[in-house]
Structure 1
Amino acid sequence: MSDNLARQFLLREDVTFLNHGSFGACPRPVFETYQAFQLELESEPVEFLGRRLNDMMRIPREAVAAEIGAAPTNIAAVINATSGLNIVAQSLPLQPGDQILTTDHEYSALEKTWAYVCRKTGAEVVVVKVPMPLISEEAFTDTIIAGMTERTKVLFLSHITSPTALVFPIERSIAEARKRGIWSVIDGAHTPGHIPLALDALGADFYSGNCHKWMMTPKGSAFLHARPEVQGLLDPLVISHGWTKESKDPGALGAFGNSPFIDGIEVQGTRDPSAWLTVPAAIQYRRENDWASVQDHCRQLAQDTARRLRELTGLEPLSSPEFSAPQMVAMPIPECDTAEIHKLLFERYRVEIPVFKWQDHHIARLSVQGYNSRPQMDRLLDALSELLDLRPSRRRAGGEG
């Protein structure tokens, strides 16, 4: 992308940052809006938090709802997707013998969440192995449905997976879960601002996504989406001023005039809401910079870099192109000490990228955002070629021109 766009981010110039997927990165104009909210809060905390905040919170709720195809009344602000999914996991009335059906591609923090819930309730997690490489929606869906039994109470899936950067085709699995009376819980940490969403149409019972990754808000901005019919199942992790004893009544009003779902989750006493309040500014930033074109450029750069590395390694991709996340790709590398490679990439080459082992695969997970460039991809491939002793002749054949 252009140097001008790269200069709009706050990232260090001495680091090649190829890990947007982990924590995101915030453009300077959006970050300045964030700081302005913080200064406004500190200038008169009682007015900001006590008299104005309830109305202010509605504005980003409506803005993000329009972006993700949802009614604003079905969304509550949380600090991250893990927090939102914990609200769901710890609220559902599971009992001994109940099963949570999931896959072998899930995020480790949520694997721990469900393990914790099972310890408390006596339920159990059932993990199905997704056919790899992922090249067929039918094979994926058939595998998920085959794992459903009369004991299955929860279907938990990532929309875009963290370790493997795959876009799971979850629509038919969610529909089947609904037919069987199974709650569908979707980890959408990597989806808002990354792929198009229409959450009300998708029909998942619960869906939590981050705004501070690909939508590029400051850290601590995310949402929990819940269908109206299941909002009454949820209890906030923190009981505070927003909770009422009528919180399970879907027709009731919450303590601050919103639904019990929104007020119970959002009103937790003193905290800084500034990251959430910047959601409209982040959406506006994307519009002003023609982000659809930026994303298309990033997708091409990500896929081209993955192709060039495949020509160096001879290793097959984890999926066909339609199931690879547009701006994030898990690239197989030869067997190695992944922790050491990760360390050397940063210490020797100043390249920030996750390198890890997943099942039998050794992976470098590349994220490409608008501040990245072709020379940075060249630097990554040069570094991996040296560290992994990939043959230069094969690298030249990959088309570095």
Structure 2
Amino acid sequence: MSAGEPPAPIPGARLLFSLDPGVSYLNHGSFGAVPIGVQRAQQRLRDEIESNPLRFFAQGLSDRIIHTRRHLAAFLGADPEVSALVPNTTAAASLVLQSVKLEPADEVLLTDHAYGAVAMAARRRCRRAGATVRTVALPMGATDAELVSRVRSALRPGRTKLLIIDQIASATATTFPVREIAAAAHEHEIPVMVDAAHVPGMLLVDVASIGADFWVGNLHKWAFAPRGTALLSVAPEWRRKMEPLVVSWDQEQGFPHAVESQGTLDYTPWLTSPTGLFTLRTLGWEEVRAHNSALAGYGQRVVGEALNVPVAELPRPGDPDLAMRIVPLPAGLATTPPEAQALRQHIADKLAVETAVNAWGGRGLLRLSAQVYNRPEEYDRFAERLPQLLHDYRR
């Protein structure tokens, strides 16, 4: 389906969510949206806990976590024995960074598409070790071959101790050829962490075939899990080196149990996540991917046209199933993170539209998401009203 044709709605899908009908929620990518059935399944677990907390935490919890991990790992093509449930990709990044040995002459290599909190974690880890963080610039619109070449040229064998690469970048909705990039880094024995926060539920993935040393994806964005659910998969040779950020009672069992066992943590998001996958499969995952990518493309086109952005300047999706698209904002708008946040809030307040605005490369970028609860007319209304709002905002 071309970007000129909005997709037909998936019957009944909109009724699965409890989103405010007075708001156009075009920002599924930031925090996801939990279906009502998943919310209720989580509440039943909370009710179970409160009926007898000791029984819940002391009898069979570990087995339930293991069962859930295996279920999620199978969905993602990961080995459950070297994977762990974690709250999110940011927590996983800190876990990985502390597990990689760094000395004063070493460095961690990022790209300029790296998620802000992950970059902050890398800088803190390097600051404590006396190491450095270095960033390689990767232009939007570059071919896979160009991306691999740029990353390969930026590697410093002997000094680069970790490469962190996004599979789908949050700010720019750019996909990266992570399998090929990991292979290039491994030519110099440089470990690779893939930040795949947006991948589960949006793209087909086989984690094992990527060959990364560390891969982590959130299931609360596109796989309908409650927030606080992610899977971290590590290469077998790293298993003994993975230490939890907090020591708890299963410390001696090692990874993944030591990472997953965190005392009175709320485990209900993890244990409910298979219900999210069930919902996704019930809707028809192929149909969901086709719908979301087509609707995101449609939204990008109509909003881009409204802002007089030439079609050639609209960033193309690197994967046909991508459900997030970028529309460059007029020059001078949202060029810094605080300005981007202020504009996002202004759009929400004035237009009742939730979207994402990011500052990247000195340019403001509007990121549009599409999910089964969205409709073409939401993007049409947004396109009609946004130009005047931006005109008034700049005055």
TM-score by length of 1: 0.90
2:277 counterpart residue number:
283
Contact kept, 8 Å, 1:63 with 1:279, in 2: the verdict is: no
Contact kept, 8 Å, 1:167 with 1:325, in 2: the verdict is: no
Kindly state the Cα deviation for residue 317 of structure 1 after the two structures are TM-superposed.
3.7
1:120 counterpart residue number:
128
Q: Could you say what the CA RMSD is over the residues aligned between the two structures, in angstroms?
A: 1.7
2:323 counterpart residue number:
327
2:373 counterpart residue number:
371
The match for 1:69 among 74, 77, 81 is 77
The match for 1:213 among 218, 221, 224 is 221
1:395 counterpart residue number:
none
1:396 counterpart residue number:
none
Equivalence map 1:80-99=2 (5 Å): 80-99=88-107
Q: 1:24 to 1:113 in 2, by over 3 A?
A: same
Read off the aligned partner of 1:217 and give its amino acid letter: A
Kindly state the Cα deviation for residue 14 of structure 1 after the two structures are TM-superposed.
1.0
- What do the CA deviations read for 1:27-61 (whole angstroms, capped 9, x no partner)? 00111111111111111111111111011112211
Contact kept, 8 Å, 2:216 with 2:232, in 1: the verdict is: yes
Correspondence 1:10 to 2:18? yes
Q: Secondary structure at 1:363's aligned position in 2?
A: strand
Contact kept, 8 Å, 2:228 with 2:269, in 1: the verdict is: yes
Q: Secondary structure at 2:62's aligned position in 1?
A: helix
Q: 1:318 to 1:231 in 2, by over 3 A?
A: farther
In structure 2, C-alpha distance between the alignment counterparts of 1:206 and 1:142, rounded to whole Å: 21
Q: 1:125 to 1:89 in 2, by over 3 A?
A: same
Correspondence 1:38 to 2:46? yes
- What do the CA deviations read for 1:156-186 (whole angstroms, capped 9, x no partner)? 1111101101111111110122221111011
In structure 1, C-alpha distance between the alignment counterparts of 2:257 and 2:286, rounded to whole Å: 34
1:251 counterpart residue number:
none
Contact kept, 8 Å, 1:17 with 1:351, in 2: the verdict is: yes
Identity %: 34
Kindly state the Cα deviation for residue 2 of structure 1 after the two structures are TM-superposed.
4.8
Q: 1:132 to 1:290 in 2, by over 3 A?
A: closer
In structure 1, C-alpha distance between the alignment counterparts of 2:107 and 2:197, rounded to whole Å: 23
2:3 counterpart residue number:
none
Consecutive unaligned residues of structure 2, counting only runs of 5 or more, are 1-8
1:25 counterpart residue number:
33
Q: Secondary structure at 1:321's aligned position in 2?
A: coil
Read off the aligned partner of 1:284 and give its amino acid letter: F
Q: Secondary structure at 1:322's aligned position in 2?
A: coil
More displaced stretch, 208-217 vs 138-147: 208-217
TM-score by length of 2: 0.91
1:362 counterpart residue number:
364
Kindly state the Cα deviation for residue 131 of structure 1 after the two structures are TM-superposed.
2.8
Contact kept, 8 Å, 1:168 with 1:323, in 2: the verdict is: no
Read off the aligned partner of 2:348 and give its amino acid letter: F
Correspondence 1:198 to 2:206? yes
Read off the aligned partner of 1:48 and give its amino acid letter: F
1:264 counterpart residue number:
258
The match for 1:182 among 190, 206, 220 is 190
Equivalence map 1:286-297=2 (5 Å): 286-297=280-291
Consecutive unaligned residues of structure 1, counting only runs of 5 or more, are 245-253, 255-259, 391-401
Q: Secondary structure at 1:181's aligned position in 2?
A: coil
The match for 1:129 among 122, 137, 161 is 137
In structure 2, C-alpha distance between the alignment counterparts of 1:378 and 1:194, rounded to whole Å: 24
Q: 1:67 to 1:222 in 2, by over 3 A?
A: same
Contact kept, 8 Å, 2:219 with 2:229, in 1: the verdict is: yes
2:178 counterpart residue number:
170
Kindly state the Cα deviation for residue 341 of structure 1 after the two structures are TM-superposed.
3.6
Kindly state the Cα deviation for residue 295 of structure 1 after the two structures are TM-superposed.
1.9
Kindly state the Cα deviation for residue 199 of structure 1 after the two structures are TM-superposed.
0.8
In structure 1, C-alpha distance between the alignment counterparts of 2:314 and 2:98, rounded to whole Å: 33
2:4 counterpart residue number:
none
Q: Secondary structure at 1:320's aligned position in 2?
A: coil
In structure 2, C-alpha distance between the alignment counterparts of 1:14 and 1:319, rounded to whole Å: 30
1:60 counterpart residue number:
68
The count of aligned residue pairs is: 375
Contact kept, 8 Å, 1:133 with 1:318, in 2: the verdict is: no
More displaced stretch, 339-348 vs 50-59: 339-348
Correspondence 1:314 to 2:322? no
Q: 1:359 to 1:131 in 2, by over 3 A?
A: closer
In structure 2, C-alpha distance between the alignment counterparts of 1:130 and 1:52, rounded to whole Å: 47
In structure 2, C-alpha distance between the alignment counterparts of 1:28 and 1:224, rounded to whole Å: 26
- What do the CA deviations read for 1:108-158 (whole angstroms, capped 9, x no partner)? 101100110111111111111103333x11000000000011211111111
In structure 2, C-alpha distance between the alignment counterparts of 1:205 and 1:262, rounded to whole Å: 15
